[in-house]
Structure 1
């Protein structure tokens, strides 16, 4: 019957469209996850760099010699 075949064709096309949509959604989710991971890594490196700079600059200024008015060095 032609109506039955038309209905089966319509069902098949809808299923294929659904599968294609699902694959597209999956690819999008993979790309979004990769982007989020890249952003997390950037934030971690930035935070690490900031902490290292703060640590280094604090260490350098804390260990700098302090001089008295007569030129002698004092230990702080």
Structure 2
């Protein structure tokens, strides 16, 4: 219009312009319309195109399957680590339990007697640190 403002006008039919340039359809390569507005029948795909797409799909399927197998191996390895840790803890607990039951009362008394001076010193020290009321 005369005051210098740009006025957007709607194009007639399917014709669309983009800043003075006509747009091109990606389906039929025609000018003036978008692919979503295309009225031309879609092209038939050639046998080589379909074979290529089939090979791509098969490779993708194999890749996905390999990823699942790798994931399963990682899960199995993680489970193996947990099993080994559990076994090590079980063996340690069994050894400690066996050592405590194998010790006779006299051996246990010797162990307690050898620790008694250290325990009494620590206990006396803790009593000295407590405030009297």
TM-score normalised according to structure 2 size: 0.45
Larger RCO (CA under 8 A, 6+ residues apart): 1
Q: Residues 64, 6 of structure 1: CA spacing in aligned structure 2 closer, same or farther, 3 A cutoff?
A: closer
Q: CA 1:11 to 1:54, structure 2 compared with 1: closer, same or farther past 3 Å?
A: same
Instruction: Tell me which residue corresponds to 1:22.
Output: 66
Cα separation, 2, equivalents of 1:46 and 1:21: 37
Cα distance in structure 2, aligned partners of 1:64 and 1:24: 56
Secondary structure of 1:54 counterpart: helix
Shift in Å at residue 62 of structure 1?
A: 5.5
Return the alpha-carbon distance in structure 2 between the equivalents of residues 22 and 45 of structure 1: 35
Q: CA deviation at 1:2?
A: 0.8
Runs ≥4 residues deviating over 3 A: none
Q: How many residues align?
A: 65
Unaligned runs of at least 5 residues, structure 2: 1-44, 110-133
Gaps of 5+ in 1: 66-76
Distance in 1 between residues matched to 2:105 and 2:60, nearest whole Å: 67
| CA distance in structure 1 between the aligned counterparts of 2:96 and 2:108, rounded to whole angstroms | 18
Structure number with higher helix proportion: 1
Aligned twin of 2:99: 55
Cα deviation code 1:6-49 (max 9, x no counterpart): 10000000000011011111111000110111111111100110
